[in-house]
Structure 1
Amino acid sequence: MSRRALALLLAAALLPAGLAGCGIPGETDVQVDGSVRVGEADALNGTPASPPAPTDSSEPVAFIENYLRAAAAGERDQAYARARKFLAEEARDLLPGKPQTSEVDLTVVRLREKPESTPPNNQGTSTVTLKVQQIGVLRADGTLGQPVSGQTQYVFEMRRAEPASTGLLITELPNVLLASDSALREYYRPRTVYFWNAELTRLVPDQRYLPASAPTERRITEVVKWLADRPSDWLASGVTGLPDGTQLINNATGADGRWEVNLNMPGANEQRLTRLGTQLAWSLSDLTGQLDLKIQNQKRLTVDLQRERESNTAYPRGVNPVRFAVYDGAVRPLALGNEPRGTVPLPAPENRNVVFASFAQADDQVLAALVVTGPGPDRRQRLKVGFGPEPVAVLNLSDRAFSEMSRPTWLRSLDKTRPSGLVAADDRLYRFDGSGRMSEIPLSVPGPVVTVAASLDGHRIAFISGGAAYVAAVSVEGGVPNLGPPRPLATLLTGVTAVDWVAENQLVLAGNEADRRSAIYQVAVDGAWEDPLAAEIGAPVPRVAGYPGGRDRGLEPFSFMFETNNEAWRNNPFTFVKPAQVLDVPAGSRATSPTAPFFLY
């Protein structure tokens, strides 16, 4: 496919203004990784839509789609009551009931295709069949846990209500409380809460969901409960919770920028309370004003929420991002529009025979990792690793060679003396350190591992194995990174080939749509939602590179680059990177296209 044809297809695949590249952005206006809020769909702004009623539609498919919205359309303690309104009297016992309790789990599903319906039979009943993908279980603590069912199809039977003018009623249905992913987007808001890492040096984001109708006091109450309870299952091994026995005493109170939280918290010394104040400031980052923190009715700390966020940014914001690519076997900076332009932080003799590269800024140091080809006919690949002030003067070759390696990724650490990273090599995942030593990380996933990407906080990764996407928490013990149990991400893409982070809780994936054409999707870190960003690409996309920051760092939010057909492309807008946009190309270089694009930040 020609570049012009691909560019036109990508442009046509863009979502309408305000939706492209946003999915469901985080609830917070300020995020620790530098992301910023962007335009949202109307359903996500202001007051959420009213709960659907059984009489809203007498057409079977629309009726069932409304049923899939009902349980999610309000407070959890009324979820069963809203769903039961759609049921005939004879079917009320088919849905296991938990009336008037908030301890309700919603089974969230994504429709794979438009539901199918049958015309009414002689008894006046009809059926609707749903073909679904299991997304997860939305729990009372706001987490979206992994699916507990492998069901791919649900069948509903319904009849006309009496009198017939009042619509339809369900007579047969699955015995789980279902909600669609679109209902989750319509009636819930994503919330980001933060837990400290094991070293208590960095905050790590955790995605939650809260009904959009919840008032401010309720939001504060729920956030404190979440922090006092536990992190999401998949993240737990990489973070530290509050002391066991921490509990909220009554609900949060206050108004007009002055809030009060009362806790039981064992061992509530000054250091623990200070850390909790920082957690609360970031976990309530849509609020300003002051929050009084009480321990067993005694005021112990007052947090100015905005000032706390400004003075404790949790981890360094980094530098203005700059773009690079590999051109004729060497890393070269790119010049795209008015964006900042960088220089390669390597001595020229070290910048040769490069296949992939990864640079990261760590205070006044640059971390550099190159995949280079060695001499000989087999062209085995090795890592070349180094760190220090720019330019990185000394790079060390890895102690192992491989037939094929991915672009390496750095785990951003506060310990500048012991940097480490991850790379996929010959279908397995490896850790490496600043000297180039490599060791395999065993994973309980099927299929070969082909690529890996680390989040900005350094305690979460995403990787591709066997054509599927996974996330996992990272813990550091004695300077050595270890992974928690991987969580698979639900996506309609198959044969996923590439992944990277484009925001605090959002990923960009490349893979195949149902018609097997290549596409790029934006996906939530828990798989709760996904949005197509580009379709009909025409060739596989083996690599993507994202920038998880925002406008305050010189790039549009959700900026990424990718490679297809041995050419580098960018979004915002979708255009291919021309050879003329490659800088510092020495005379006599082979004319080619830039590949393997990436960001330094």
Structure 2
Amino acid sequence: MSRRPGRRTVTGVLCAALLALVPAGCGIPDNTDVQVDGSGPAVSAGASSFGLGEPPTRTASGTDREAFVHNFLSAAAGEPERAYTRVKEFIAREDRSRLPEKQGSEVAINVVRLTEKPVITENASGLFTVRVPVQQVGVLRANGVLGPPVLNETEYRFSLRSAAPLGQEGPEEAGFFVTDPPNVLLLATEALRYYRSRTVYFWNSDSSRLVADQRYLPVAVPAERLVSEVVKWLIAGPSDWLRQGVSGLPDRTALINNAVKTDGRWEVNLELPGDDRRKLEKLGIQLAWSLWDLDGPLQLTTRNQSRVTIDDLNDHRVANKVYPLTEGPQRFAVYEGAIHPLSFLSEDTGTVPIRAEDNHDIVSASMRRAEEKTLAAVVTTAPGGRQRLVAGSGVAPVQVMTPGAQLFKAIGRPVWLRPLGAGQPYGLVVADGGLYRFDDQARMVPVPVGAAGRVSAVAASLDGHRIALIVGGRLYVSAASLDGGGVSLGPVRQVATTLTDLSAVDWAGENTLAVAGSTNRSAVYEVSVDGAQQSELVADVGARVTHLAVYPANPTYVLPAVMIMYEANGVAYRHRSPSAETIRRDQVLDVSPPPAGVRAGSPTAPFFLF
């Protein structure tokens, strides 16, 4: 008998409460202080919190040189119009011209990850030389988008001098100044604590599904400006790498004045070309989710006086779910060549969604719910030690599973992209180092990838339009378009991470990936889609991870803990923070005990059905 968790509806309070309970690594929730790898900025010993989201001032570190360097690499954080002013306060007056200023939307902050502690050495002249080894992460724009990096420096060097002659330091002269500074704004990833990571949503091409996009809002921005900032982000359009998979608002859409709150109701006045009420209603759903931490009424009005009133933002989210999830995930694994359910206490247990006569010679599998149907794809062994993709769709158990015509040396784990309405379902799979699309009749067509190298892994987000790839040992994201009777990928964006020898990837949340690789030992990390944030999920796997499956954290069906499974060295594991445990044979349902004297095999290739 299956065990079903209580179904949870989406409310602002419930989402916030449950996400607060989720341990690190189960998805970075929207509208929270950004969690970053490493320690927070060094201010000074005994210094108090700076509050209001403002980074430390030049004198905050006193005579602590290392703290001063960290604070210098935090100074650009905050509202962009004051970034140069904050940074130049750290730079000696005679050297401030070395940092040329940009204004308005041209303000660009280069976000870097410190790969080692800054090295500070004193030279004969009494100056201190600073060397900062870095990894380039991206460029934070004034519109809150952290785009790909434009620089390739792996270290920065500058000097420090005392702010006053030795023994003559006063309150105004304490500390240090930077001399010979970098000619760009730098921001260490640890300083992203002065921002809140927010998710905004754009419609896909046929306005049937919302697609998440990440932004950074300075903590210093007052709460009353939040609605206006989010509307401006939606008007400006999606991040560049997402553009192929989503639609922006009509050209010449503009916010008329700032959003205001009157008698408890937010009012947004827009210039909307065409004065299309349907577009206004769609924008209302976008805003409800992009402002998911707000409740109460919101009114959208155009210059031509078309009007849409949302009585309560929270109720609007409940009525317009962002993901088509109606029940919790179920765990499965492959055992002795067949798919079997896995049984764990307090979790929903399912039944195999394909017929028994098709459930044999299986290497790996992918299953997805799509309204009343189940999408099924399995990789099976074929004559000569080769592999074949077999696929089908229908009410479970799927009655027709069609074997593909092509044989490959090795096929990776297939992934389904949720179909648009009643459209043809498609998926993506890696075979012999190339990426292929497939359908529910196992027809495979090569998909060009805009990155050089052998493709070794692919994963798809809950919305089905954002794709993660490992190509040439590097991590990438891209947007998938399902228009025109097929699947095509837009430009790829490389995602920075300190992991090497990447071997597997899946989506851990709306804006985060679970990535398996090496840190001189095999590990699984959670990495944000822009590469700015990374944290350890599994510290020491013990062997290279060859298969990874995650139930992605999301605001539609919230679970209180991360759900992750993986395979390493032919053994399947499930992660239970802070460690992992082997999936045992007695946790595999519907199998017979091995004959006396015969050693039982191990479950492999675990996956979730949701």
Structures share fold, TM-score greater than 0.5: yes
Hey, what does 2:138 align to over in structure 1?
Answer: 136
In structure 2, distance between residues paired with 1:48 and 1:593: 53
- The SS at the match of 1:549 is coil
Match of 1:80, SS? helix
Aligned residue type for 1:196: W
User: Contact between 2:507 and 2:552, CA under 8 Å: does it hold in 1?
Assistant: yes
Identity percentage of aligned residues: 50
Asked if the contact 2:415–2:427 (Cα under 8 Å) also holds between the matched residues in 1, the reply is yes
Cα pair distance change 1:554/1:525, threshold 3 Å: closer
CA distance 1:522–1:26, shift in 2 (3 Å): same
User: Per the alignment, in what secondary structure is the counterpart of residue 542 of structure 1?
Assistant: strand
In the TM superposition, residue 586 of structure 1 has moved relative to its aligned partner by: 3.6
- In structure 1, what is the equivalent of residue 253 of structure 2? 246
Shift of 1:489: 0.5
| Aligned twin of 2:86 | 82
Aligned-residue CA RMSD (Å): 2.5
**Residue 393 of structure 1, CA deviation:** 0.9
1:256 positional shift: 6.1
Deviations 1:465-512 (A, max 9, x none): 111111110111233111111111000001111000111111100001
- The number of aligned residues is 571
Cα deviation, residue 41, structure 1: 12
Which of 113, 118, 133 in structure 2 is aligned with 1:115? 118
**Which secondary structure state, in structure 1, belongs to the residue aligned with residue 267 of structure 2?**
strand
Per-residue CA deviations over 1:124-155 (Å, capped at 9, x if unaligned) read: 10111111000000001111110000110100
- C-alpha distance 96-42 of structure 1, shift in aligned 2 (>3 A): closer
Q: Provide Cα deviations, 1:195-222, integer angstroms capped at 9, x if missing partner.
A: 1110111111111111112223311111
User: Residue deviations 1:382-428, cap 9 Å, x none?
Assistant: 11101101111110001211000101000012334511100000000
Q: What letter matches 2:213 in structure 1? A: D
Residue 548 of structure 1 is matched in structure 2 by 552
Contact 1:408–1:422 (8 Å) recurs in 2:
yes
| AA partner of residue 238 (structure 1) | G
CA contact (8 A) 1:47 1:212 kept: no
Deviations 1:419-457 (A, max 9, x none): 110000000000001111100001121221111111110
Q: State the alpha-carbon separation in 1 of the partners of residues 410 and 302 from structure 2.
A: 56
Equivalent position amino acid for 2:450 in 1: S
Q: Which amino acid aligns with 1:206?
A: D
**Which residue in the other structure is 1:52 paired with?**
56
Which amino acid letter does the alignment assign opposite residue 73 of structure 2? L
Are positions 1:291 and 2:291 aligned together?
no
Who is 1:152 aligned against? 154
- Tell me whether 1:372 sits opposite 2:380 in the alignment: yes
Tell me if the contact between 1:18 and 1:38 (Cα under 8 Å) persists in the aligned partners: no
| Amino acid aligned to 2:360 | R
Corresponding residue number in structure 2 for 1:192: 199
In structure 2, do the counterparts of structure 1 residues 584 and 360 end up closer, same or farther at CA, with 3 Å as the change threshold?
same
Partners of 2:530 and 2:188 lie apart in 1 by 15
Matched AA of 2:346:
N
Q: Give the conservation status (yes or no) of the 8 Å contact 1:550–1:557.
A: no
How much does 1:551 deviate?
9.4
- Alignment equivalent of 1:69, drawn from 64, 71, 74: 74
Check 1:153–1:440 CA distance in 2 against 1; reply closer, same or farther (3 A cut): same
* Matching residue of 1:412: 418
Matched residue type, 1:593: S
Instruction: Determine if contact 2:53/2:219 at 8 Å carries over to the other structure.
Output: no
Tell me which amino acid in the other structure corresponds to 1:204: V
Q: Which whole-Å CA distance do the structure 2 matches of 1:421 and 1:586 have between them?
A: 33
Report the Cα offset of residue 299 of structure 1.
5.5
Would the aligned equivalents of 1:431 and 1:438 in 2 still touch at CA under 8 Å? yes
Aligned residue identity for 2:124: N
* 2:475 aligned with 1:466: no
**Which residue of the partner structure matches residue 270 of structure 1?**
277
Contact 2:114–2:135 (CA under 8 A) maintained in structure 1: yes
Cα distance in structure 2, aligned partners of 1:255 and 1:235: 35
**1:167: which partner in 2?**
175
Q: Structure 1, residues 299-344: CA drift from partner, whole Å, max 9, x if none?
A: 6111231221111114412421110111111111111222111111
The answer for the alignment partner of 2:18 in structure 1 is: none
Q: 1:24 Cα shift?
A: 3.9
Query: TM-score, normalised to structure 1's length?
Result: 0.90
Matched, 1:593 2:607: no
| Residue range with higher mean Cα deviation, 572-581 or 324-333 | 572-581
SS at match of 2:74: helix
What residue in structure 2 maps to residue 229 of structure 1? 236
Shift of 1:47: 4.9
The 1-side partners of 2:93 and 2:39 are apart by: 36
TM-score (normalizing by structure 2): 0.89
- DSSP-derived class of the 2:549 partner: strand
Letter in 1 for 2:348: P
Give 1:538 deviation, angstroms. Answer: 2.1
**SS of residue paired to 1:69:** coil
Q: 1:10 corresponds to which residue?
A: none
- Change in Cα spacing, 1:38 to 1:578, as seen in structure 2 (3 Å) is farther
